[in-house]
Chain A
Amino acid sequence: MKSRPLQILLALALLVMTLALAYPMYVDYREREISAEIVERYREIESRIRAHLDDAGESADCAALSAMVDGRALQFDGVTVDIGFAPVELGARRGYRPVFVVCGATGQGHALDVARYAHRHFAAINRIEAGPVVRDSVVGFAAPLSAPDHIACFVPSPELPRLCGRTYPPTKGEDAG
């Protein structure tokens, strides 16, 4: 009877230790899961845009391509996911092509780790555009949504790019270029 409180305390201590070991593993699992969801979403959007470009050819307005994607499909916990446009030059012709932009920065919960995992996933399927930013405090990269040597549209979308970890739509003084 004398050792009963000690046994209870020992059981509690073991429970706390088990939780302490299990919780980081759960967080890591969630981060990997979210990054896998981002890749899945990318594949869906890419196939839709490629099918549209195959059918309709070049669009005059890039906004038409952005409008094909439901904004809710780009919402992930903390991580910023957006459709951007990269300039394309084919001789004298200048236009744009859509890209899938992912970024996560420090100070946004698990966004940085999720973006890091997503970067690994995209690298594994060889879908990272040139010039990714992979630093200690920020990870940002783009993946192509159409053939890199084809113009998809000519007039860039008037919508400003979503800024990593900032409010959207941008408030006064938070607009981007």
Chain B
Amino acid sequence: MAGKGPPGDEFSMLVEDLHEWEARQQRAREAQPDEAADGPLRLVWTIAAWCAAATSLWLAVPQAGPGPAQIRKDLLHLLEQSRSAVERSRLRTGELPTRIPSPALASLVSYHPLGGGGGYELEARLGAQIIIWRSRQPDRFEERRL
């Protein structure tokens, strides 16, 4: 039940309020530089986190090799090279070779002479893709996937 005090008291309360207000302002001013310093740090951290996520993803996802279309193209190239090597040998010697004359191609393409008639079969495989070519059906390529 505080009654109305003398005018001096009101004035001192006003001064106290003013002091409190000043102190709050001061604290706010002191707090502001911290936030200003946190701003760039937060930005750097965000960029670093983004880079880390991107590089982790790049590491996790295997680097893309040649696609199925390129592999098919390379398989057909190998078959054509092997066919050419076998035919050249047949022209020179008059008979089918026992293996593909080029050792580099022989390590890449399976060669199966077929009994009688001078036919043969070539099988090239890269990754999970296989293409088989038979000299008796030169226009057909049998394609398989493992």
Interface residues of chain A, those whose CB is within 8 Å of chain B, are 2-3, 6, 9-10, 12-14, 16-17, 20-21, 23, 80, 82, 84-87, 89, 94, 99, 101, 103, 105-107, 112, 129, 131-133, 135-138, 140-142, 156, 160-166, 174-177
Per a CB cutoff under 8 Å, which of B42, B59, B110 touches A177? B110
Residue total for B at the interface (Cβ-Cβ under 8 A): 48
Chain A nearest Cβ from B40, distance in angstroms: 11
State whether A13 and B77 are in contact (beta carbons under 8 Å apart), knowing that A136-B66, A177-B106 are contacts in the complex: no
Excluding A89-B92, A176-B107, 14 further A-B contacts by CB distance (< 8 Å) are A10-B45, A16-B55, A17-B51, A17-B55, A87-B97, A106-B65, A129-B104, A131-B102, A131-B105, A132-B104, A136-B74, A163-B107, A165-B126, A177-B98
Give the docked Cα–Cα distance between A166 and B128 (Å): 11
15 residue pairs of the A-B complex, CB under 8 angstroms, read A6-B41, A12-B52, A16-B56, A17-B51, A17-B52, A23-B59, A87-B97, A112-B65, A133-B77, A133-B108, A135-B77, A141-B104, A160-B99, A162-B107, A177-B106
Interface residues of chain B, those whose CB is within 8 Å of chain A, are 34, 38, 41-42, 44-45, 48-49, 51-52, 55-56, 58-59, 65-66, 70-71, 74, 77-78, 81, 85, 89, 92-93, 97-113, 120, 125-128
Q: Identify the 5 closest CB pairs spanning chains A and B, nearest first.
A: A177-B111, A84-B103, A20-B55, A107-B127, A13-B48
Per DSSP, chain A at the interface is mixed
Contact A20 B108 (CB under 8 A): no
Give the docked Cα–Cα distance between A3 and B40 (Å): 12
**Residues from chain A with Cβ under 8 Å of B66 in the complex:** 106, 136-137
Chain B nearest Cβ from A47, distance in angstroms: 20
State whether A138 and B74 are in contact (beta carbons under 8 Å apart), knowing that A17-B52, A166-B125, A177-B111 are contacts in the complex: yes
Contact A9 B45 (CB under 8 A): yes
Contact A6 B42 (CB under 8 A): yes
Give the docked Cα–Cα distance between A162 and B59 (Å): 32
Which single residue of chain B is at the shortest CB-CB distance from A156? B98
Contact B52 A156 (CB under 8 A): no
Contact B48 A133 (CB under 8 A): no
Chain B nearest Cβ from A23, distance in angstroms: 7
Contact B38 A3 (CB under 8 A): yes
**Residues from chain B with Cβ under 8 Å of A141 in the complex:** 104
State whether A177 and B41 are in contact (beta carbons under 8 Å apart), knowing that A106-B71, A106-B126, A135-B74 are contacts in the complex: no
**Residues from chain A with Cβ under 8 Å of B126 in the complex:** 105-107, 137-138, 165
Chain A nearest Cβ from B88, distance in angstroms: 11
Chain A nearest Cβ from B61, distance in angstroms: 12
Which single residue of chain A is at the shortest CB-CB distance from B70? A136
